[in-house]
Structure 1
Amino acid sequence: MISGEQGRYRIDGAITMNNANAVLEEGLAKFGDAAEVDLSALGETDSAAVSLLLEWRRVNPALKFIGCPDNLKSLVTLYGVLELVQ
């Protein structure tokens, strides 16, 4: 689900309640002190994806998210955390 290395990663597929814990743990294991995470290949997302991004950022404040797809952008806007993906 998460590919890449040396601070540059890409997430492919869905992040929903069904797999959020596994994706969270995978990201925590892969992302170092600073990383850039490309979200452009994300498919289906729900509120669990927003929680996951917030937790990754809490653990790693230098983490940068790029390529936010429209469906996720709608969710982060709804929850008032659009700055998370900008």
Structure 2
Amino acid sequence: MLKLPARLRMDNVPQVWAQLEDALRAEMVQVGNAAGRSVSLDASGLNDFDSAALSLLLSALRMCGQNGWQLDLLQPPGQLRELARVYGLESLFWADAAATPAAADLAA
């Protein structure tokens, strides 16, 4: 399991992405073609972030998807989920968001 840092803001996301991208590649190589091909990303320590955090998460999601992997974002802070909801991205990261009225409105 990979872990996000406590802070993800516009000024540090490029550096964090460079590290995370390398870690994701290493994780994919290590796990290889195992069943369930998913990478877990622990967000429990994330407590200082802005919308740049969503950009980083979208990049990670895209990278995983392009390689046939699923990204599981674990224990996100409520404010991160709310930020994703405001941008219409919540259902991309959390399957349970597809059942919420806001996600249904966006799909219509």
- Which of 13, 23, 40 is 2:6 aligned to? 13
SS in 1 for 2:80: helix
Contact kept? 1:73, 1:82, Cα under 8 Å = yes
Counterparts of 1:58 and 1:12, CA distance in 2: 20
Q: TM-score, with normalisation over the residues of structure 2?
A: 0.68
Q: TM-score, with normalisation over the residues of structure 1?
A: 0.84
* Percent sequence identity over aligned pairs: 28
Number of aligned positions between the proteins: 79
Q: Which runs of 5 or more residues in structure 2 are unaligned?
A: 29-37, 95-108
Structure 1 runs, 4 residues or longer, greater than 2 Å off: none
Q: Which runs of 5 or more residues in structure 1 are unaligned?
A: 1-7
| Structure with higher helix content | 2
* Structure label with greater radius of gyration: 2
CA-based RMSD: 1.2
Aligned partner letter, 2:51:
S
2:74 aligns with 66
| Structure with higher strand content | 1
1:50 aligns with 54
Note the alpha carbon deviations across 1:61-85, whole angstroms, 9 max, x for none: 2221111101211110011111233
